[in-house]
């Protein structure tokens, strides 16, 4: 029986033989596809193709995972990856064409052809998709990130915290692709609304509570195109705030729990421990206070809050007290008044002083208000510690942050406050002629009050602690302010208006010598005195001793015979009959007297003659001498000769006196054998 001819195989797949046909002998075929050599090469090609396919898939996956990457280091890899994907795609297309031609020319059944086509598509289509997707993925724009440059550690993410966001790396990536942003619009709370616009790629924002935050930014180029970046971060804890952050040595820092307890009635008291010794350094009834650190380094600050519901809450954080950072250019924040403490309403003027050209100055006053410009005035209407911060940007692009603290407290009442010293304070006014010297001391019966003064405009200031010592040498109206503070931080600011009038006369007394030992002759000269708009007709001198006043000229002499402090007064008369007076103080010291005896000998046989000399070794000017030789004989000579007739030991005494009656006594022993 002759069997029908079987169709040729496709890819080595033989069609199933009919169950009813049982050939006893295989037909002879001249097709070489089914030969063992062909089958061997097909298996080898299939193995190498499978290995190539797997390696290609792995290669594409690796490229997609690591690319795109920022910077130029991976640019060559992008080109190699894209080229390899294109080449592989062409290989897949070529392979598909060859296999399809082979399938179309074979004499296999329709079912076998469909099965072969399905296998072809299962292999080629994923490869083609991968060859198309890979270049698109690796050549796309790298992901843009917002870096957090401060704080750098997640342990420091303790609210309230100031977080600095930096887009420098993102801008570097974009600049390599020709995109240069000129403006940045920040969304700080993921509400799709712009919270802040900046011209710099760096922004510092405050976050007061714990939570999960997403910050995004739109970077706008000059042509209106934009790119975006986002950052997600977690703040796991909220404690008291510290301003400025970090605190600066020798500068007040404000600590506040107001963001956690917006209702101040909830807080009964807060015990603040600033040095980690377990003892309260300050106890406040308000949820905030200020403190000045005098050492640098890390310190643990804690706050124990007593709440109105009879519970407690404890907060603690580690802060790093630092030296002030070096400024990129000389700049200073000046306030008026200088002492920023008072009761509401309290007004202050803040000024930035620098020779550097400035592009922008932004102020925050700590109570939610802001201002711009190198000078800013602000009035505080409620109690609290308010950190005032100025962000200063020069025209060269350098940025400086300066800060100070305003403290608003309850008013201190001192109804019995009076002033000792000169000149007299009439109400809240002082008036006097140039030069006007202030020497004022506040006095009150209330205890534990600290006083200090502000005296702007004074020519010379000697003291501002409790007693004010200041001199005004220029005409004008000035204001000195007394600041009184009790232990509970209640404050009184008392302004006193000082009116400095032009001089009505310019009287001067010169003395030669200005001091000395009695008897002292002094020459007084008032020839440089003048009276504006008047002619001087005479001088009346009073020398401060028992002598009568002397009417004479501009110069005179007077001798002081005794030591003492003398107030010399000068009265000048003018042609219009007016009189003007001034005084000068002269100190005449006691003369230095020291009597001394110089005997010719102190021992010898009786009768013993001895010459005594009191002039050679005595100090001072003696007007009289009195000798007592110890044998009943006395003498008033300067250099007496005395004979001791009887043997014995004699004590010779000398008492000398000057013209003012000052005396000096000495003695010597003489032995007559």
Tokens at 597, concatenated = 């005896």
Q: Of 131-135, 231-235, 398-402, 532-536, which range is least confident?
A: 532-536
Looking at the structure, tell me whether residues 97 and 166 fall in a common domain: no
484 falls within a domain: yes
* Interatomic CA distance for residues 342 and 336, integer angstroms: 12
Q: Using one digit for the tens of pLDDT, what is the confidence trace for 369-408? A: 999 999 999 999 998 889 999 999 999 888 998 999 999 9
Tokens at 575, concatenated = 């042609």
User: Do 672 and 607 touch, CB atoms closer than 8 A?
Assistant: yes
pLDDT of residue 51: 84
**What percentage of the chain reaches a pLDDT higher than 90?**
32
Q: What is the CATH number for 268? A: 2.60.40.10
32 falls within a domain: no
pLDDT of residue 187: 93
Looking at the structure, tell me whether residues 437 and 478 fall in a common domain: yes
pLDDT of residue 505: 67
175 falls within a domain: yes
Q: Using one digit for the tens of pLDDT, what is the confidence trace for 408-458? A: 999 999 999 999 998 999 989 999 887 789 999 999 999 889 999 999 989
Looking at the structure, tell me whether residues 520 and 541 fall in a common domain: yes
Cross-strand partners of 216:
187, 230
User: Do 163 and 151 touch, CB atoms closer than 8 A?
Assistant: yes
Looking at the structure, tell me whether residues 550 and 606 fall in a common domain: no
* Interatomic CA distance for residues 515 and 668, integer angstroms: 36
Domain boundary among 192, 209, 237: 237
CA angle 321, 326, 327 (to 5 degrees): 125
pTM above 0.75, yes or no: no
Q: What is the band of 10 on the pLDDT scale with cuts at 50, 70, 90?
A: very low
Domain boundary among 389, 408, 427: 408
* Interatomic CA distance for residues 192 and 318, integer angstroms: 34
Looking at the structure, tell me whether residues 86 and 97 fall in a common domain: yes
Looking at the structure, tell me whether residues 623 and 585 fall in a common domain: no
* Interatomic CA distance for residues 553 and 234, integer angstroms: 91
Looking at the structure, tell me whether residues 206 and 189 fall in a common domain: yes
Looking at the structure, tell me whether residues 308 and 346 fall in a common domain: no
CA distances from 607 to 116, 378, 646, 670, 673 (A): 166, 102, 6, 12, 8
pLDDT of residue 619: 72
* Interatomic CA distance for residues 139 and 412, integer angstroms: 72
3-state SS, one letter per residue, for 148-210: EEECCCHHHCEECEEEEEECHHHHHHHHCCCCCEEEEEEECCCCCCCCEEECCCEEEEEECCC
Looking at the structure, tell me whether residues 473 and 399 fall in a common domain: no
Looking at the structure, tell me whether residues 455 and 493 fall in a common domain: yes
| pLDDT beyond 60 at 28 | no
Looking at the structure, tell me whether residues 168 and 227 fall in a common domain: yes
459 falls within a domain: yes
- The predicted model gives 54-74 an average pLDDT of 76
129 falls within a domain: yes
The per-residue DSSP string of 65-103 comes to: HH-S-SSSTTHHHHHHHHHHHHHHHHHHHHHHHHHHHHH
193 falls within a domain: yes
User: Do 289 and 248 touch, CB atoms closer than 8 A?
Assistant: no
34 falls within a domain: no
Nearest to 132 by CA among 169, 165, 90: 90
Q: Look up the domain containing 283 and give its range.
A: 239-321
CA angle 269, 275, 279 (to 5 degrees): 50
Q: Using one digit for the tens of pLDDT, what is the confidence trace for 112-165? A: 778 878 887 888 888 888 888 888 877 766 778 899 988 877 777 888 888 899
Looking at the structure, tell me whether residues 132 and 86 fall in a common domain: yes
Q: How many structural domains comprise the chain?
A: 7
pLDDT of residue 25: 47
């Amino acid at each position: 029986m002759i069997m029908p001819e079987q169709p040729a195989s496709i890819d080595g797949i033989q069609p199933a033989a009919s169950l009813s046909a049982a050939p006893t002998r295989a037909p002879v075929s001249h097709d070489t596809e089914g030969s063992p050599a062909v089958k061997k090469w097909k298996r080898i090609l299939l193995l190498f193709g499978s290995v190539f396919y797997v390696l290609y898939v792995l290669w594409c996956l690796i490229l997609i995972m690591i690319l795109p990457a920022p910077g130029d280091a991976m640019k060559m890899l992008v080109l190699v990856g894209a080229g390899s994907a294109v080449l592989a795609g062409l290989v897949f297309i070529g392979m598909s064409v060859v296999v399809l031609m082979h399938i179309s020319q074979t004499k296999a059944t329709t079912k076998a052809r469909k099965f072969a086509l399905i296998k072809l598509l299962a292999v080629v289509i994923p490869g083609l998709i991968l060859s198309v997707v890979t270049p698109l993925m690796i050549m796309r724009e790298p992901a843009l990130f917002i870096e957090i440059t401060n704080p750098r550690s997640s342990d420091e993410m303790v609210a309230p915290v100031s977080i600095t966001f930096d887009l420098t790396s993102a801008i570097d990536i974009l600049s390599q692709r020709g995109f240069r942003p000129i403006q940045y619009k920040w969304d700080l709370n993921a509400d799709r609304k712009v919270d802040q616009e900046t011209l710099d790629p760096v922004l510092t924002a405050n976050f007061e509570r714990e939570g999960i935050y997403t910050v995004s930014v739109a970077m706008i180029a000059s042509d209106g195109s934009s790119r975006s970046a986002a950052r997600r971060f977690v703040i796991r804890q909220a404690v008291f705030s510290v301003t400025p952050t970090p605190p600066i040595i020798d500068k007040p820092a404000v600590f506040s729990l107001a963001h956690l307890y917006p209702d101040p009635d909830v807080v009964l008291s807060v015990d603040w421990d600033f040095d980690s010794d377990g003892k309260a350094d300050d106890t406040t009834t308000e949820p905030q206070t200020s403190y000045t650190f005098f050492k640098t380094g890390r310190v643990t600050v804690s706050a124990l809050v007593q709440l109105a519901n009879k519970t407690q809450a404890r907060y603690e954080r580690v802060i790093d007290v630092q030296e002030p950072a070096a400024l990129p250019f000389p700049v200073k924040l000046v306030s008026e008044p200088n002492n920023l403490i008072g009761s509401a309403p309290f007004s202050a003027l803040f000024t930035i002083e620098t020779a550097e050209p400035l592009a922008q100055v932004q102020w925050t006053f700590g109570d939610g208000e802001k201002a711009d410009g190198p000078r800013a005035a602000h009035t505080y209407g409620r109690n609290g510690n308010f950190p005032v911060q100025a962000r200063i940007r020069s025209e060269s692009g350098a940025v400086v942050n300066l800060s100070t603290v305003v403290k608003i407290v309850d008013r201190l009442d001192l109804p019995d406050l009076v002033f000792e010293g000169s000149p007299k304070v009439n109400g809240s006014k002082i008036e006097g002629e140039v030069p006007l010297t202030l020497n004022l001391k506040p006095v009150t019966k209330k205890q534990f009050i600290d006083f200090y003064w502000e005296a702007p405009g004074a020519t010379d200031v000697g003291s501002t602690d409790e007693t004010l010592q200041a001199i005004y040498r220029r005409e004008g109206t000035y204001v000195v302010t007394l600041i009184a503070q009790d232990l509970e931080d209640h404050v009184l600011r008392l302004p006193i208006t000082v009116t400095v009038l032009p001089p009505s006369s310019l009287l001067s007394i010169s003395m030669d010598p200005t001091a000395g030992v009695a008897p002292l002759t002094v020459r007084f000269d008032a020839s440089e005195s003048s009276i504006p708009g008047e002619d001087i007709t005479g001088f009346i001198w009073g020398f401060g001793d028992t002598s009568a006043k002397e009417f004479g000229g501009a110069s005179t002499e007077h001798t002081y015979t005794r030591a003492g402090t003398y107030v010399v007064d000068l009265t000048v008369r003018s042609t219009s009959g007016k009189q003007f007076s001034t005084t000068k103080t002269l100190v005449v010291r006691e003369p230095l007297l020291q009597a001394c005896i110089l005997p010719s000998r102190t021992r010898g046989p009786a009768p013993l003659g001895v010459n005594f000399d009191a002039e050679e070794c005595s100090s001072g000017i003696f007007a009289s001498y009195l000798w007592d030789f110890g044998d009943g004989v006395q003498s008033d000579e300067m250099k007496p000769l005395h004979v001791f007739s009887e043997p014995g030991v004699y004590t010779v005494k000398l008492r000398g006196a000057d013209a003012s009656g000052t005396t000096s006594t000495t003695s010597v022993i003489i032995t007559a054998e």
